């Protein structure tokens, strides 16, 4: 039986794979684990090891004293963790170097002045290296998206995406401000005249929720909560009105507050 011909692999396929990134890491805990391995091996130099917070110094010490680990399993475990921590340091170095370059440029420093600091030979090379390093900053701000590749095209695309996300966020904040301006005064009026509203247990519960969220109601999520609670107040007042055949409020002020809440939540 003849075999089906294999599809040729595109020569660019390896270049299209998303790079893997360490990301956030509890480095103190990992250094603590490595310290424990050396203590268990009765490494006499462990007392000279830098503190867990001093990642770079601790890694240099562990590297110099790796032979103190007696078991193959301990050496293997320690080596893998050291590799991971060095990779983490490299990522952090890229991120903070990119931020330092950005600050330098904001302070008016020319690309030519950054040539020796970036270990390149020309201002254009300094510029290109800075653009590649921006991938680290964009990845850090990408909120879980795949890491940004170190190419000018990928950096430009990531910047466009970041700008689009920022625009969406600004629109959400503007809408939140508009909704807050409409909801907050009505919510406060409900609370001011709650004594004149039906004191049903469910009505009281939702009014308490309104009272809890209103003072700190700033974010879109909090505004959604406020809207939800006010809708619940209106819903429960209507239910009581249907069940009892009585007005939902006993004072003109409370009745007006109820009517305003019904109108603003409907819109």
197 — phi, psi (to 5°)?
-95, 160
> CA-to-CA distance for 203 and 249, rounded, in angstroms?
12
> CA-to-CA distance for 232 and 190, rounded, in angstroms?
13
Structure tokens at 213: 């969220």
> CA-to-CA distance for 214 and 84, rounded, in angstroms?
46
Q: Which residues lie below 8 Å from residue 149, measured CB to CB, with a gap of 6+?
A: 18, 19, 135
Q: pTM higher than 0.85, yes or no? A: no
Asked if pLDDT for residue 250 goes beyond 80, the answer is yes
Domain residue ranges in the chain = 20-140, 174-266
Handedness of CA 109, 111, 113, 119 (dihedral sign): positive
Give 57-112 pLDDT, tens digit per residue. Answer: 999 999 999 999 999 999 999 999 999 999 999 888 988 998 899 899 999 999 99
Please report which confidence band the pLDDT of residue 20 belongs to, taking 50, 70 and 90 as the band edges: low
Q: 34-38, 163-167, 200-204, 255-259: which has the highest mean pLDDT?
A: 34-38
For the chain, how far is it from start to end, CA to CA, in angstroms?
70
């Amino acid at each position: 039986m003849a075999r089906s011909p294999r599809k040729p692999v595109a020569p660019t396929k390896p270049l299209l794979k998303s790079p893997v990134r360490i990301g956030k890491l509890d480095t103190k805990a990992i250094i603590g684990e490595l310290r424990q391995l050396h203590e268990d091996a009765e490494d006499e130099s462990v007392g000279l090891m830098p503190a867990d917070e001093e990642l770079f110094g601790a890694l240099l010490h562990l590297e110099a004293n790796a032979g103190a680990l007696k078991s193959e399993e301990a050496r293997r475990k320690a080596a893998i963790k050291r590799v991971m921590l060095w990779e983490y340091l490299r990522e952090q170095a890229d991120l903070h170097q990119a931020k330092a370059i950005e600050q330098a440029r904001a302070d008016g420093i020319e690309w030519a002045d950054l040539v020796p600091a970036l270990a390149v030979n020309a201002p254009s090379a300094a510029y290109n290296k800075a653009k590649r390093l921006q991938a680290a900053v964009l990845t850090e701000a990408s909120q879980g998206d795949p890491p940004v590749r170190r190419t000018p095209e990928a950096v430009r695309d990531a910047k466009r995406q970041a700008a689009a996300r920022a625009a969406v966020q600004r629109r959400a904040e503007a809408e939140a401000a508009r909704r807050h301006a409409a909801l907050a005064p009505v919510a406060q009026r409900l609370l001011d005249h709650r004594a004149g509203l039906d004191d049903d247990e469910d009505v009281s519960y939702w009014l308490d929720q309104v009272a809890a969220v209103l003072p700190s109601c700033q974010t879109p999520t909090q505004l959604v909560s406020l809207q939800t609670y006010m809708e619940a107040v209106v819903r429960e007042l209507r239910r009581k009105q249907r069940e009892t055949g009585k007005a939902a409020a006993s004072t003109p002020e409370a009745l007006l507050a109820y009517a305003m809440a019904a109108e603003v939540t409907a819109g």
